[in-house]
Amino acid sequence: MIEIKGLTVRYRQRHRCFLALDNINLTINNGDICAVIGPSGCGKSTFLYVLSGIIKEYEGNVLIDGKHINASEQRIGLILQDYGLLPWRNVYDNVTLGLKMKGGYKGDTEYIQYIVERLGLRDLLDRYPGQLSGGQRQRVAIARSFVLRPSILLMDEPFSALDAITREEMQDLFLKIWNEYRVSTVLVTHSIDEAIYLGRKIAILSPSPGRIIKIIENPLFGTEDLRIKNEFYEMEMEIRKIIRGDSHNES
């Protein structure tokens, strides 16, 4: 479980202090996907940097399974917007990089092969990131995180650089793999559609400084053919209204 209580983050500049996140309270149960949505600059990436252990200076409490964040002890998978692949390493090396760094590489070859297979990367293992399409790079990044068997998975706008069709394919593929492993996931997105499609829980942040305006337990999560259902559009409108401030629901 991820427990966030009173999380406040300030960026310190030379003479000023910039409040990026203000008093965030959020609990994410094991095996849940929480989509965090909000306007540009509201602190979504900052939130992920805290959870991944990159930002260590903050107020409040952030616990993963009851423990303070320690990136070297906990298995935290992080998928960034640009996928963070090393251009000079081939697909196989990129997939296994995190695992090698954590020292868990040797015993896991069968599992690596399985994930590689599931993500359709078998024929691409010798290629370099520059020789892959956006969707293929994205699959490498997902594979790299999944082979780590992370206890939490953090994704920063992972599908935003893809064209609409590839994006939907990748979202479906991600859900399929996620369904097998049920890793607790925090997904940051500026797309309302994506939040509704992938988030079992949706946390809506205000413009900067980021505060939680509302947390929705998404009743549509997992609905078959959701994208073509009326409820999907109705919820999209509801969230749009909340973001615009038409509705003043406090979480």
Q: Which residues bind ligand ATP (CB under 6 A)?
A: 11, 13, 18, 20, 38, 40-46, 190, 208
**Collapsing DSSP states into helix, strand and coil, what is residue 151?**
coil
Rank residues 11 and 105 by Cβ distance to ligand ATP and give the closer one: 11
**Cis amide prior to 209 (ω within 30 degrees):** yes
| Integer CA distances (angstroms), 132 to 16, 74, 140, 176, in order | 43, 30, 10, 22
**Nearest distance, CB of residue 241 and ligand ATP, angstroms:** 20
Q: List all residues 6 or more positions away from 215 whose beta carbon is below 8 Å from its beta carbon.
A: 26, 201, 202, 203, 204, 251
Strand order, beta sheet including 201-205: 76-79, 152-156, 184-189, 33-37, 201-205, 212-217
Q: Can you spell out the DSSP letters for 48-73?
A: HHHHTTS----EEEEEETTEE--TTT
**Nearest distance, CB of residue 141 and ligand ATP, angstroms:** 17
Rank residues 45 and 94 by Cβ distance to ligand ATP and give the closer one: 45
**Nearest distance, CB of residue 39 and ligand ATP, angstroms:** 7
**Nearest distance, CB of residue 173 and ligand ATP, angstroms:** 24
**Nearest distance, CB of residue 51 and ligand ATP, angstroms:** 12
Rank residues 84 and 104 by Cβ distance to ligand ATP and give the closer one: 84
Q: List all residues 6 or more positions away from 70 whose beta carbon is below 8 Å from its beta carbon.
A: 53
Rank residues 55 and 95 by Cβ distance to ligand ATP and give the closer one: 55
**Nearest distance, CB of residue 127 and ligand ATP, angstroms:** 29
Residues 136 and 130: their CA atoms lie apart, in Å, by 11
Strand order, beta sheet including 67-68: 17-28, 2-12, 59-64, 67-68
